[in-house]
Amino acid sequence: MDPLLRLILAQGMLGLNNGVFYAMLSLGLAVIFGLLNVVNFAHGALYMLGAFLALILYSYLGIWIGISSFSIGFWPSLILVPVLVACFGMLIERFMLRRLYKLDPIYSLLLTFGVTLVLQGLFINFFNASGTPYPGMPESLRGVVNLGFMMFPKYRLFVILFSIVVCFVVWYVIERTRIGSRLRAGTENPELVKAFGINVPLMVMLTFGFGTGLAGLAGVLAAPIYSVSPLMGANLIIVIFAVVVIGGMGSIAGAVVTGFALGLVEGMTKVFYAPAANTVIFLLMVIVLLVRPNGLFGRSS
């Protein structure tokens, strides 16, 4: 096979791998923004929290409770951690964000920024700022798969497929089911939905929990790939914001498609002009702003 084509396909796969995380995180942001009109700056920190919880459950919990052989592996973490992060998110919503809905949305952005600083600071204190590998990758996902053009780690392939399923399910639930239609109605007109007897504050809290749970899930999935560090969400969140501006926050599908596509674009940039790989998404954002200020999938405001 032509070496350039081989390189393009290989970087495409790695780009898709990053795109998975962009898609899942911007999806969570879009869900939260849709119902609450809140831009959750803490999303990156909650992703980091998810990765750390997986690490703690696997490596530290046993030591802390005095039974060093005790550990919770990857598969249970995949369910447990998102639930824990979602609970944490719901606490933030219930006790902090709820007080700010009547004000300018900028205040909730600032509040979640404060939450980010606290979480980052705490984890830098208790864990090394430089990062720790997560050793709990399950045996069944170790090794590589031959894709014809490259040997691709089995685990990364699993992450790509798993995330596509998750994104599809979320899209389906929100756009095609009764729960989803109530949710969307709640974003359009909370007063009216309240009048139908639906507990809107509870719905808002659960939605926020769901969005943050998605960030936690992305964190667990990321743990075996990237090293788990307190700052792993810090730069990612800004990329996610750019993804959101490019996609436009109007639609769930837009968030997912843009996330995957930008991962691929980043991968291709690595092939053709590597120094720009860090900034290409931001440059794309500039171009999109000039051409379509509401984003590719955005509805005009």
The CA-based dihedral angle spanning residues 29, 31, 32, 34, taken in that order and rounded to the nearest 10 degrees = 110
Instruction: Please give the distance of CA 168 from its chain centroid, rounded to a whole number.
Output: 15
Q: Which is nearer to another protein, 102 or 178 (CB)?
A: 102
> Residue 113 CB: number of other CB atoms within 10 A?
15
Place of tokens 């459950």: 57
Using CB under 8 A, which of 17, 18, 71, 116 touches another protein?
Answer: 116
Q: Which is nearer to another protein, 165 or 283 (CB)?
A: 283
The least distance separating another protein from the CB of residue 141, rounded to whole angstroms, comes to 33
Check residue 301 for interaction with another protein (CB under 8 A): yes
Please count the helices (runs of H) and the strands (runs of E) in the chain.
12, 2
Check residue 242 for interaction with another protein (CB under 8 A): yes
The least distance separating another protein from the CB of residue 287, rounded to whole angstroms, comes to 10
Q: Identify the CA nearest to 205 among candidates 80, 73, 110, 95.
A: 95
**Total residues at interface with another protein (CB under 8 A):** 43
- Segment contacting another protein (CB under 8 A): 75-83, 154-162, 259-267, 285-293? 285-293
Q: Which is nearer to another protein, 153 or 248 (CB)?
A: 248
87 Cβ contact partners less than 8 Å away, ≥ 6 residues apart:
209
Would you give the binding string for another protein spanning residues 85-114, x where CB under 8 A is met? -----------x--xx--xxxxx-xxx-xx
Would you give the binding string for another protein spanning residues 256-275, x where CB under 8 A is met? -------------------x
Q: Identify the CA nearest to 285 among candidates 252, 237, 248, 232.
A: 248
Q: Helix (H, G, I), strand (E, B), or coil: what is residue 152?
A: strand
Q: How far apart are CA 175 and CA 198, in angstroms?
A: 19
Q: Which is nearer to another protein, 222 or 245 (CB)?
A: 245
Which tokens is 294 given? Answer: 């509401």
Residue 174 corresponds to which amino acid?
Answer: I
**Contact positions vs another protein (CB under 8 A):** 39, 96, 99-100, 103-107, 109-111, 113-122, 124-125, 129, 234-235, 238, 241-242, 244-245, 275, 278-279, 282-283, 285-286, 289-290, 293, 301
